[in-house]
Structure 1
Amino acid sequence: MNTSGARPDDPITDFARRSVDVAGVVKTVYVAGRGPAVVLMPEMPGISPDVLRLARWLRDAGFTVHVPSLFGTDGAFPTVEEGMEVVRRACVSAEFRAFAGGGTSPVTAWLRGLARQAHADCGGPGVGAIGLCFTGNFALTMALEPAVVAPVVNHPSLPLDDPAGLEIGDEDARAVADRVARDGLKVLAYRFDDDRWCTGRRFAAYRALLGDAFDGRVLPGGSANAGPPPFFADVVGTPHSVVTAHLVDEAGHPTVRARDEIIAFLTARLRPAGRATPLPGRSG
């Protein structure tokens, strides 16, 4: 077991903590920034400091970032044992469909409601949606909501038992494909080439569904952070989290370029008359 990842938790004091009600279901959402809304969903096993680092980059680039609490302990770097328990609970939860044949996860209906509310609050041409790992495909399903105009699918890991599968029911898949064709949406996606949770077969399934609207970008696994937190080192066990746990925060690094490409994608669709605020170490 890797025990070198003892890192401080994040108190999340620079975000407003809101209770958001969608159709009578209330969840905590952390909100920060000004500008068009971006819903950033956590990766397994929760809203880690690495997820919050990405949220702050989005905030600093000129967006109002919304981070919903869906599982795990908010702000924590979980131990291996804690992370495994979060995975077990999520896999049997009625909100998620972790395995093949389960169809669309019910929690995505709540997330679409969050996007509608965020758009009403923040204005602009629409909302960005970023999924990570366990929530990766949720960004695509959220495109069933007309307010969502910039979906980003990062290393989608569901269904866990089918490397060529997509976590979406047949009817929803057809509806998403129809909306992509009708409205000209583009779907940006990332994975590492040797990720065993998000394989080339899964990206091929996205392209089969979405055609040229799917922009799947693949980074070399050798570029991943070699010292991620213990859950990622010991449980995930493969390069996986392109812009969070496996990001290398160095100017010009492939994972940092991926972060900047995501921000540029969101900017072009949510702030078409303006530019993102440059981040430290960025070229523009």
Structure 2
Amino acid sequence: MTTPPLDRDDPLDDFDHRDITLLGRRHRVYTMGSGPAVIVMTEMPGISPHVARFARWVRDAGFTVYMPHIFGKDGAVPTSGQFLLTMGRACISRQFRAFQANESSPATQWLRALAAQAHQECGGKGVGAIGMCFTGNFALSMMLEPSVLAPVLSQPSLPLNDPAGLHIHPDELAAVKARMDAEDLTVLAYRFEGDKYCKAARFAAYEAALGDRFVGRTLSDSAANPDTRFDNPHSVVTLHLIDEAGQPTVQARDEILDFFKMRLSE
């Protein structure tokens, strides 16, 4: 199948469109593929063609993608106006606590329930999860669901007003750390060196909290695709990825896919 162009809205018509109700809340979830489940959580301002492209790479690596609608217009090419509108709505939503450190967004409860259902539907050893930007921290909180074995934090950006803050309740963080120690699990994380929304202080805080269970990767700003409308180097495996062999962003993508294979394959 021809890959949809990245500069046009993606109809997402190669995904199955499912409405899934969990914990009394219904969300559209885009699914495709076969094999163990991986939850792909979109960055701001929504499921862009670049996010959908990453989901297809996950499928091609041998997994069943579950990509829930979280905010924004599904399939739309991101614009500055759409970003500001969606960000504003998310910041006042009760499902997110965008400015609060030491708190977890309520949205993660639904995402944990989705991971449990995906594991039941797909089988395998467990479930992978990747969050990006606004959802970047969510994969760590999702580890409270026992099926989640392979969490990835891509440019985790919350809380927005505290560069060194961790967007997870301390009790949850302690439970996650205990589980990681008991089951010998790790979390992968990625950022660009000069990212204004995910600074070095956040990775340092994660490392202080999780020790060697936190595996952080910082890419040079020169590795970011300059051919975008967004100058801040930010989206490691989507908008700022340079899809050429040997590029650091492609190497990051492949490391993530290998991480899912290592943790989830029988």
Is this contact kept in 1: 2:102–2:170, CA < 8 A? no
Higher relative contact order (CA 8 A, sep 6+): 1
SS in 2 for 1:7: coil
Find the counterpart in structure 1 of residue 117 from structure 2. Answer: 117
Deviation at 1:196, TM superposition (A): 1.5
Q: Unpaired segments of 5 or more residues in structure 2?
A: 1-5
Is this contact kept in 1: 2:129–2:148, CA < 8 A? yes
Find the counterpart in structure 1 of residue 264 from structure 2. Answer: 270
Deviation at 1:78, TM superposition (A): 2.8
Deviation at 1:182, TM superposition (A): 1.5
Cα distance in 1 for partners of 2:206, 2:75 equals: 31
Q: What does residue range 112-191 of structure 1 map to in structure 2 within 5 Å?
A: 112-191=112-191
Find the counterpart in structure 2 of residue 247 from structure 1. Answer: 241
SS in 2 for 1:188: strand
Cα distance in 2 for partners of 1:227, 1:175 equals: 42
Find the counterpart in structure 2 of residue 46 from structure 1. Answer: 46
Cα distance in 2 for partners of 1:197, 1:79 equals: 18
SS in 1 for 2:210: helix
SS in 1 for 2:159: coil
Find the counterpart in structure 2 of residue 256 from structure 1. Answer: 250
Cα distance in 1 for partners of 2:186, 2:102 equals: 26
SS in 2 for 1:151: strand
Cα distance in 1 for partners of 2:180, 2:218 equals: 22
Deviates more, 1:180-189 or 1:114-123: 180-189
Cα distance in 2 for partners of 1:263, 1:65 equals: 12
Partner amino acid for 1:17? H
TM-score normalised per structure 1:
0.90
SS in 1 for 2:11: coil
SS in 2 for 1:97: coil
- Quickly say closer, same or farther: Cα 1:264–1:46, change in 2 above 3 A: same
Is this contact kept in 1: 2:101–2:166, CA < 8 A? no
Q: What does residue range 50-61 of structure 1 map to in structure 2 within 5 Å?
A: 50-61=50-61
Q: Aligned-pair RMSD on alpha carbons?
A: 1.1
Deviates more, 1:117-126 or 1:70-79: 70-79
Deviation at 1:203, TM superposition (A): 0.3
Percent identity, aligned pairs only, is 56
Deviation at 1:7, TM superposition (A): 2.1
Is this contact kept in 1: 2:136–2:155, CA < 8 A? yes
Is this contact kept in 1: 2:102–2:165, CA < 8 A? no
TM-score normalised per structure 2:
0.96
Partner amino acid for 1:156? P
Cα distance in 1 for partners of 2:101, 2:149 equals: 27
SS in 2 for 1:202: helix
Cα distance in 1 for partners of 2:168, 2:24 equals: 24
Cα distance in 2 for partners of 1:42, 1:61 equals: 19
Aligned residues: 261
Find the counterpart in structure 1 of residue 97 from structure 2. Answer: 97
Given the alignment of the two structures, is residue 213 of structure 1 paired with residue 213 of structure 2, yes or no?
yes
Cα distance in 2 for partners of 1:101, 1:36 equals: 32
Deviation at 1:83, TM superposition (A): 1.5
Runs ≥4 residues deviating over 2 A: none
Cα distance in 2 for partners of 1:55, 1:11 equals: 14
Deviation at 1:81, TM superposition (A): 1.2
Given the alignment of the two structures, is residue 11 of structure 1 paired with residue 11 of structure 2, yes or no?
yes
Cα distance in 2 for partners of 1:166, 1:215 equals: 16
Residues 108-141 of structure 1, C-alpha deviation per residue, up to 9 Å, x if partnerless?
0000000000000000000000010100000111
Deviation at 1:100, TM superposition (A): 2.7
Deviation at 1:102, TM superposition (A): 6.6
SS in 1 for 2:121: helix
Find the counterpart in structure 1 of residue 74 from structure 2. Answer: 74
Find the counterpart in structure 1 of residue 3 from structure 2. Answer: none
SS in 1 for 2:152: strand
SS in 2 for 1:218: strand
Is this contact kept in 1: 2:33–2:60, CA < 8 A? yes
SS in 1 for 2:34: coil
